[in-house]
Amino acid sequence: MKHYVSALVAVLTSTATQAADLRGPVAAPLPAAVVAPVFDWSGFFVGLHAGGVWSRNRYVGGASGGAPDWAAGTVFGTEPSGFIGGVQIGYNWQFAPNWVAGVETSISGTTVNRRFASTFGAADDIYQHRLPFFATFTGRLGYAAGQTLWYARGGLALASTTFRYDDVTPPNIGTGSASSTRAGWTVGVGAEYAINQNWSVAAEYNYAKFSGWTAALNATDSVRASTAVHAITARVNYRFWSGPSAVVSRY
């Protein structure tokens, strides 16, 4: 009986050993693929901007004269400057995979408000130029290098301008003013850096050119005026990101 039990144990041990040999070596698990994170600029954003603005203006006296002591056809120019500040809102869409397209609207107020004495008539003739309101409606196209976005923008611009004169010495005392909101075009460039998934900062330059208009100062005097604007601003934006993180993996 002992011989039968020993033989049975030997047979079972041999079978288990052969079954283990048939499985072969156990494969080691493959390491997970490492994918570099890419920042996603897509989404709505709102923000604030502030900086400096320069207004270049050209005036031409009308057929009956621009104002007292301003002869017809006389050309005069000014370049007042001031502070600009306002808000912006827009949307970005990232594609292919580093390009970013978008749209943006900005509305600004400025402190451009300069009074200047005539250099071609009586020294008592005082003229004034104001640029209280400036707005843009543009498309954007940029190239994203991670959390840095380089972009250009262009489109429609609007500006409110006012021209005024005061002739303060008797007997030629007189005054007149005219205002107009003009449409024009604008182009600009900028660089934006994303601090985190929601906040970013940027620096931007914009140039805008507006159509000319006739400022009817009184019953007889008028001035043909045209305006161009240069603006350099610092910006801060908040992006509405709906995902868990603005840094996503692209496979």
Report pLDDT digits (tens) over 138-150: 999 999 999 999 9
Q: pLDDT digits over 38-48, tens only?
A: 688 999 999 99
Cα–Cα dist 218/167, whole Å: 13
Q: Cα separation of 112 and 51, whole Å?
A: 12
Q: Considering the domain delimited by 41-244, tell me its CATH architecture.
A: Beta Barrel (2.40)
Is residue 77 exposed (0-12), middle (13-18) or buried (19+ Cβ within 10 Å)? exposed
**pLDDT at residue number 225:** 86
In sequence order, what are the residues at sequence separation of 6 or more whose Cβ sits closer than 8 angstroms to the Cβ of residue 169?
122, 124
Side-chain half-sphere CA neighbours of 95 within 13 A = 5
Per-residue pLDDT of 111-127, as tens digits, reads: 999 887 766 666 667 78
List phi, psi (to 5°) of 144: -100, 125
CA distances 56 to 112, 136, 175, 198, Å, are: 11, 18, 23, 37
Give me the mean pLDDT over the 14-19 stretch: 52
Give the pLDDT confidence score for residue 61 in this predicted structure: 77
Q: What is the pLDDT confidence band of residue 9, given thresholds at 50, 70 and 90? A: very low
pTM, 2 dp: 0.77
In whole angstroms, give the CA distance from residue 68 to residue 165: 9
